[in-house]
Amino acid sequence: MQTKRPQDTFIVMSELVLPNDTNTLGNLMGGRLMHWMDIAAAIASQKHCNCPVVTASVDNVSFALPIKLGNLLTIEAKLTRSFNTSMEVYLRVWGEDLSAQYKYLSNEAYMTFVALDPNGRPRKVPDLVPETDLEQKMYDGALRRRQLRLILGGKMKAEDAGELRALFIKE
């Protein structure tokens, strides 16, 4: 199984915010945005494993600025690390008012996907080899985020999360 680079999995998605995507104040609904983010992240994962994938988890997402009707939405997704059968994807989302020439970072997120074989069971994925410093940093952080997911999902005790511990304790 051939290793891949983060940039092999990179994908850009552009969407115009249409009326049905908005609430009564004319802002993009958070759930509609997460729907698009999920599709973008699924594509990035599929570019890595070349097989069907299923969403395993979404990390904390904060929505800073409302995105208005008619704005352009740009979603960038790229793998940060692959584990045995799962992959972590990093997403960045921009809103852009093309008439006002105003572009802003809307939010960032991490999502994880599991690769599936034709019977729908998890299958092994290729290794991901980071190239740039930033990619290496994100690769390293993936372990910590994975521990946090396991703790929040009740599958790991906090005191066993060595990687994460540093976040909370000045030693």
Residue 45: count of CB within 10 angstroms of its CB: 31
- By CB under 8 A, tell whether 122 contacts its own copies: no
Q: From residue 45 to residue 64, what is the string marking binding to its own copies with x (rule CB under 8 A)? A: -xx--xxxxxxxxxxxxxx-
Of residues 8-37, those binding its own copies (CB under 8 A): 11-16, 18-20, 22-25, 27, 29-32, 34-37
State how far the alpha carbon of 57 is from the alpha carbons of 54, 112, 152, in Å.
9, 5, 11
* Nearest C-alpha neighbor of 95 from the set 169, 21, 160, 159: 21
Cβ nearer to its own copies, comparing 39 with 129? 39
Element (H, E) at 106: strand 102-115
CB 161 within 8 A of CB 149: no
126 binds its own copies (CB under 8 A): no
Nearest to 74 by CA among 42, 99, 40: 40
Site string for its own copies, 62-101 (x = CB under 8 A): xx--x--xx-x-------------------------xxxx
Strand pairing category for 11-16 and 53-58: unpaired
Least distance to its own copies, CB of residue 163, Å: 12
Q: Which of residues 79, 91, 125, 164 is near its own copies by CB under 8 A?
A: 164
CA distance 99 to 122: 46
| Interface contacts to its own copies, rule CB under 8 A | 11-16, 18-20, 22-25, 27, 29-32, 34-40, 42-43, 46-47, 50-63, 66, 69-70, 72, 98-101, 111, 116, 120, 148-149, 151-153, 158-159, 161, 164-165, 167-170
